Amino acid sequence: MDTTTPLLNLINVSKRFGGIHALKGIDFEVRPGEVHALVGENGAGKSTMMKILAGVITDYEGEMRWRGRPVRLKGPRHALDLGIAMIHQELSVMPELTVAENIFLGRQPLKGGVVDWPRMFREAEASLAELGFEHVNVRDTLDRYPLGVHQLVEIARAITSGAQLIIMDEPTSALSPMETHRLLELTRNLVEGGDKSVVYISHFLEEVTWVADRITVLRDGEKITTLKAKNADKQELVRLMLGKETEFFEESYIGAREVEDTHELREPVLTVRGLSKPRAFEDVSFELHAGEILGLYGLIGSGHFELGEALYGLLKPTSGEMVLSGKPLRGNPRRAIDRGVAYVPPSRRSGLFLEKPIYQNISLPWLAHISGFVPSVAKEVKVADEVIHRVGVRPPDPLKEVVFLSGGNQQKVAIARWLVELPKVFVVSEPTRGMDVGAKEEVMHILKEMSAAGVGVLLISSEPETILAAAERILVMAKGRIVEEFVDQQVTKEMLLAAAAGEMVEQPA
């Protein structure tokens, strides 16, 4: 393999959407046998660039070269034929099919017009073995395996289809630390041979600096720089990505935070004792105090989201008790709201009416309070207008449909609803998932203001950065139990991950 000719080049590539420059004069190069990471805030142009590489966007300005020769991709199929495969953030696997079928999706080996199963199983096994995953039975349906294996299957599919360049878009966002670790090692192994290359997109700078050979930083559609990963300093990267500095970013990206022990000075507003729900959580006890932000960290599947649902009456615990301001808390969301419990679900879409105007999204829980049997739109709009200005929804137009807002602004609407009447307890799950750093900071700021106003905030997340950015006290859940509490000490991302993963290692495999 000629290592002097880059596998892929972009030369002065620009892309406009309407009046907006999504990419401005990008020069980008992937060498054979390298992992080239792409970092930047949401909206920096990463996804536009990936779509150009993968043939999804074909009408750009500038030139793409594949192995030194100019190409103009006609579509994703063309990209695949050349050897460019993209592994999407949202996986395109079929959990009901076998592992082997997923690997050979759409191109199963045939014999006399029917699928040649023995051959397919054999080749699937071989390709997984090559990736170092012999323990996966290719005859099992994929849904029997964790998400890490789903990701693996996508990679195996890309490789068996002959891909030379594999684009990975946030491949670890849903993975546990162990799975992440394996994926990173696998990514390194992939490029070892020197003929395959990976473009690796991630928010997690630690992964990026570990796995990549080179890092390209994008900001506002422009390439800021390409640097060697070895020399990269995380704080420096953050600064390059943002073009500015704030304490928050360092806290959230560098992943360390001083947790203070101020909670004992405050009144407990919510007491949970011995709460259990089979296959969700077991024997959970904790206190939430007025005016504190209590972080509840856990890996996906550790039961922390379900605990949040139980507090809001969406799940009925089988035993244990929840006491809010001295009285037992039970029932449905309506009763929870009336008692002063507010809730934002981990998936933004499930909590919002995208096709409906902002004001209707905000007023729904309060219709009976805002006006009588006949809602007054004027009053609703007024109430909504006030709270969306407070949280800084852009554009602050209560009549606009939520679907037209960016993800961060949608989340602000979801939170703003609970500012109409301030709750006692605010259970907020994954409030900043998939948001850019600026929007994250704004959301965290709102949570801090709410806690300053006396609300007990339970911040539930699987992203250590989110927890570390705001929580004053941190609980860690694993396998449905609270396994660790961090109070009054320096907490790092590594400590959280270790606590969350520790329990898992002890489990028999």
Q: Does 369 bind other proteins (CB under 8 A)?
A: no
Q: Does 91 bind other proteins (CB under 8 A)?
A: no
- Examine residue 191 and tell whether it contacts other proteins (CB under 8 A): no
**SS3 of residue 15 by DSSP:** strand
Contacting other proteins within 127-156 (CB under 8 A): none
Smaller CB distance to other proteins: residue 4 or 350? 350
Among 59, 90, 247, 506, binds other proteins (CB under 8 A): 59
Q: Helix (H, G, I), strand (E, B), or coil: what is residue 268?
A: strand
Indicate whether 307 belongs to the interface with other proteins (CB under 8 A): no
Residue 122 to residue 127: CA distance in whole angstroms: 9
Q: Which uninterrupted H or E stretch holds 246?
A: none
Whole-angstrom distance, CA of residue 60 vs CA of residue 23:
9
Tell which residue, 30, 29, 31, 21, has the closest CA to residue 61.
21
For 352-507, where are the alpha helices, taking DSSP H only? 358-363, 367-370, 377-391, 407-416, 437-452, 464-470, 493-506
* Residue 211: partners with Cβ closer than 8 Å, 6 or more residues away: 35, 37, 184, 187, 188, 200, 229
Q: Compute CA distances 181 → 212, 232, 328, 506, whole Å.
A: 14, 20, 43, 18
Residues 417-456 that bind other proteins (CB under 8 A): 417
Q: Does 74 bind other proteins (CB under 8 A)?
A: no
**Is residue 56 within the footprint of other proteins (CB under 8 A)?**
no
Q: Verify binding: residue 365, other proteins, rule CB under 8 A.
A: yes
Q: How many residues bind other proteins (CB under 8 A)?
A: 33
Q: Which is nearer to other proteins, 2 or 59 (CB)?
A: 59
Instruction: Please state, in angstroms and rounded to a whole number, the distance separating the CA atoms of residues 84 and 76.
Output: 9
**How would DSSP label each residue in 274-339?**
EEEETTTEEEEEEEEETT-EEEEEE-TTSSHHHHHHHHTTSS--SEEEEEETTEE--S-HHHHHHH
Q: How far is the CB of 221 from other proteins (least distance, A)?
A: 15
Q: Are 294 and 473 in contact (CB under 8 A)?
A: yes
From candidates 110, 129, 364, 452, binder to other proteins by CB under 8 A: 364
Nearest to 51 by CA among 62, 60, 42: 60
- The one among 374, 506, 507, 508 contacting other proteins by CB under 8 A: 374
Q: Which stretch binds other proteins (CB under 8 A): 32-40, 271-279, 353-361, 478-486?
A: 353-361
Contact positions with other proteins (CB under 8 A) in 378-417: 417
Note whether 360 binds other proteins by CB under 8 A. Answer: yes
Pick between residue 163 and residue 370 the one whose CB is nearest to other proteins: 370
Instruction: Check binding of 351 to other proteins (CB under 8 A).
Output: yes
Nearer to other proteins by C-beta: 319 or 347?
A: 347
Which region, judged by CB under 8 A, interacts with other proteins, from 78-86, 189-197, 367-375, 482-490?
367-375
State the minimum distance, in angstroms, from the CB of residue 351 to other proteins.
5
For other proteins, the closer CB: 153 or 337: 337
Of 76, 268, 301, 333, the residue at the interface with other proteins (CB under 8 A) is 333
Least CB distance to other proteins at residue 355 (A): 6
- Selected from 244, 316, 334, 394, the binder of other proteins by CB under 8 A is 334
Mapped onto helix, strand or coil, the DSSP state of residue 128 is helix
Which one of 206-214, 252-260, 344-352, 461-469 is the stretch in contact with other proteins (CB under 8 A)? 344-352
Distance of alpha carbon 101 from alpha carbon 321, whole angstroms? 46
Q: Which stretch binds other proteins (CB under 8 A): 96-104, 336-344, 440-448, 486-494?
A: 336-344
Distance CA 371, CA 377 (A): 9
CB 211 within 8 A of CB 187: yes
For other proteins, the binding residue among 11, 97, 367, 487 (CB under 8 A) is: 367
Q: Closest by alpha carbon to 366, among 330, 417, 312?
A: 417
Q: What is the rounded CA–CA span in Å between residue 260 and residue 277?
A: 31
The single residue among 146, 268, 375, 407 that binds other proteins, judged by CB under 8 A, is 375
User: Which parts of 340-418 fold into alpha helices (H)?
Assistant: 348-351, 358-363, 367-370, 377-391, 407-416
Query: Is 356 one of the binding residues for other proteins (CB under 8 A)?
Result: yes
Among 345, 357, 408, 423, binds other proteins (CB under 8 A): 345
Name the site residues for other proteins (rule: CB under 8 A): 16-17, 58-61, 312, 314, 332-334, 336-338, 343, 345, 350-356, 360, 364-365, 367-368, 372-375, 417
